[in-house]
Structure 1
Amino acid sequence: MNATTSADLYAASRARLTEAGLSFSPETLAGRVPACPDWTVHNLLSHLAGVAADFVSGNLDGVPRPPWTAVQVDARRSTPISGVLDEWATTGPTLEKLILSGETSHPLICNPYVDAGTHEADLHGATGIGRPPRELWLATLDWIFPVTEPNEDAPGLLSVVTPDGTYQVGAGEPVAEVRTDSYELFRAAFGRRSPAQLRAWQWSSADAADSWSTGLAFLPQTQVDLID
């Protein structure tokens, strides 16, 4: 992924989320996000503004674990959404310039569209704003795969065949193959699909489905079916 494409994907996601956030009613902002059940819509947008602020200030202690994100949410809990998005309108472009400058090689700072796009899809599930564009989730799949150290519960090498390409997870000899949609893989990789939803993919064997349905996600996996 070159820096210009990364910055452009992030800027476009930020613009879409900002437009949506400013249009939300107080009731929508107070609603829970099924993919992030501890967060409201306001909390999620606060996290995104907080990520940009922390990245440009170099506050990376604990990134990206929950205590790090909790500080972002708590700090903006009483801030009106217009203030949250005004902050992001300042720190977001600064982050985009940092990406383009080549002054950092930190993988999360250099690719913030991954987190923004994941949460854009989360907000689609919560509010119906629309999925992020195909180019974003395909770029995310190219960024995260292949992965040589999957969840410890996932043995061997898995090939995930999609209409847009084949992605591999794991290491060693091939042990399984599965076919699914690229968007579903994007959501599953970040824990947004339940084991039951993964088992419904087209697996090479029932044993593979059982093994990998809890071994594919790189973030904590939802136990409820999410539709977005």
Structure 2
Amino acid sequence: MDAKTSAELYHASRERVSAAVRGLSPADLDRQVPACPQWSVHNLVSHLTGVAADFVAGNVAGAPRPPWTAVQVETRRNLPIDVVLDEWATTGPELEQLIVSGTTSHPLVCDPWVDTGAHEADLHGAIGSGRPPADVWLAVLDWMLDEPGPLTVITPDGTYSAGSEGPAAVARTSSYELFRAIFGRRSVQQVQEWEWDTPEHAATWTLHLARLPQTSVPLND
């Protein structure tokens, strides 16, 4: 993806998330995010703001692992949401300029919309703010699933390869469900409910696809 498109996708996602949470009540800001059960809505936005600040500052050591994100959340835990959003309104455009400048080749820094898009969907699951638009999750699928693998997933929008281990298999689902599944946001049951050409492969592949612990309870987003 070219740098201009990457910056535009990030900008649009940042604007949607900011608009969705600015003005929320304290109770809504404190609401648990089902896809990230250790985070509230406020925590999720703190993470996204912290990502922008860290990328602009060149603090990428440990990204995107939990200790790195935990600092972002803890630093902003007691700040009013308007203060957090105002920070993002400053660092976000700085990150967009960094992307288009071509001065970094770090894949996470160059494509922050991947993380923002996943969390925009998480936010929808918490407050019903709306799914990210299709151009985000289709771009994520192209970005995440760009290497050949033994699992072929056919969606109405394209055919994708996934996995590095496991038997050759074919499954069919929607592009949005695949987008959520590759970030671990779908349960074993939900993945097994895809249309599998060979049913026994469904059980095998749920062991190889990313899965976060909380998705033992199916998410509805």
Smaller-chain TM-score range?
over 0.9
Which piece of structure 1 moves more, 15-24 or 101-110? Answer: 15-24
The equivalent of 2:199 in structure 1 is: 206
The equivalent of 1:225 in structure 2 is: 218
Preserved CA contact (<8 Å) 1:160 1:167: yes
Residue 109 (1) aligns with residue 109 (2): yes
The equivalent of 1:132 in structure 2 is: 132
**Alignment RMSD (CA, Å):** 1.5
Runs of 4+ off more than 4 Å: 171-174
Which piece of structure 1 moves more, 47-56 or 165-174? Answer: 165-174
Q: Does the residue aligned with 1:8 lie in a helix, a strand or coil?
A: helix
The equivalent of 2:88 in structure 1 is: 88
The equivalent of 1:181 in structure 2 is: 174
Q: Structure 1: how far apart are the matches of 2:133 and 2:189? A: 26
- 1:24, CA displacement in angstroms? 1.2
Q: Structure 1: how far apart are the matches of 2:194 and 2:126? A: 24
Q: Structure 1: how far apart are the matches of 2:59 and 2:15? A: 24
Residue 11 (1) aligns with residue 4 (2): no
Could you report, residue by residue, the CA deviation over 1:168-191 in whole angstroms, capped at 9, with x for unpaired residues? 013589711000000000000000
Q: How many residues align?
A: 220
Preserved CA contact (<8 Å) 1:33 1:125: yes
TM-score by length of 2: 0.96
- 1:146, CA displacement in angstroms? 2.9
Structure 1 residue identity aligned to 2:170: E
- 1:60, CA displacement in angstroms? 1.0
The unaligned stretches of length 5 or more in structure 1 are 149-155
Q: Structure 2: how far apart are the matches of 1:109 and 1:209? A: 34
Partner of residue 160 from structure 1, selected from 150, 153, 170? 153
The equivalent of 2:98 in structure 1 is: 98
Preserved CA contact (<8 Å) 2:169 2:197: yes
Q: Structure 2: how far apart are the matches of 1:105 and 1:195? A: 35
The unaligned stretches of length 5 or more in structure 2 are none
Structure 2 residue identity aligned to 1:125: G
Q: Does the residue aligned with 1:23 lie in a helix, a strand or coil?
A: coil
Aligned-residue sequence identity (percent) comes to 61
